[in-house]
């Protein structure tokens, strides 16, 4: 059974702070790593799909890096805003399996 770990479980930051969180996964048989943002009462929204070791992706103030050899990905948010408050999920595709999700990091940005 694939185990995708996310840390921290929850995070409170002040508006304007930059923050980051971690997704760890087994590096064997790696295929792709996905990041999603899930706001309350909405559908999870895709942020990034990453496939190559050393990949870096950016979308506005959010960016992500990937290390497939050591099995981790970091998500960074620069200058957090209240609208960034959400649960951030990472998910691993290994071989031909469906996405396996971590439990998420719940971010609260305080104005």
Partner 1 sequence: GAGVSQSPSNKVTEKGKDVELRCDPISGHTALYWYRQRLGQGLEFLIYFQGNSAPDKSGLPSDRFSAERTGESVSTLTIQRTQQEDSAVYLCASSPKTGVNTIYFGEGSWLTVV
Only segment of 14-22, 35-43, 57-65, 75-83 that touches partner 1 (CB under 8 A): 35-43
13 sits near partner 1 (criterion: CB under 8 A):
no
Query: 3-state DSSP: the chain helix, strand, coil percent, rounded to 5?
Result: 5, 55, 40
91 sits near partner 1 (criterion: CB under 8 A):
yes
Distance of alpha carbon 52 from alpha carbon 33, whole angstroms: 9
Distance of alpha carbon 17 from alpha carbon 42, whole angstroms: 25
- By C-beta, is 10 or 28 nearer to partner 1? 10
Q: Among 7, 51, 53, 108, indicate the residue that binds partner 1 (CB under 8 A).
A: 51
């Amino acid at each position: 059974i694939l185990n995708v770990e996310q840390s921290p479980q929850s995070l409170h930051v002040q508006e304007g702070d930059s923050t980051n969180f971690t997704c760890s996964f087994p590096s064997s048989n790696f295929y792709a790593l996905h990041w999603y943002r899930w706001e309350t009462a909405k559908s999870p929204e895709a942020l990034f799909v990453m496939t190559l070791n050393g990949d870096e992706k950016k979308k506005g103030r959010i960016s992500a890096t990937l290390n497939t050899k050591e099995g981790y990905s970091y998500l960074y948010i620069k200058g957090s805003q209240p609208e960034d408050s959400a649960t951030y999920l990472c998910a691993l595709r290994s071989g031909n399996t469906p996405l396996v999700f971590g439990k998420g990091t719940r971010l609260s940005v305080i104005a």
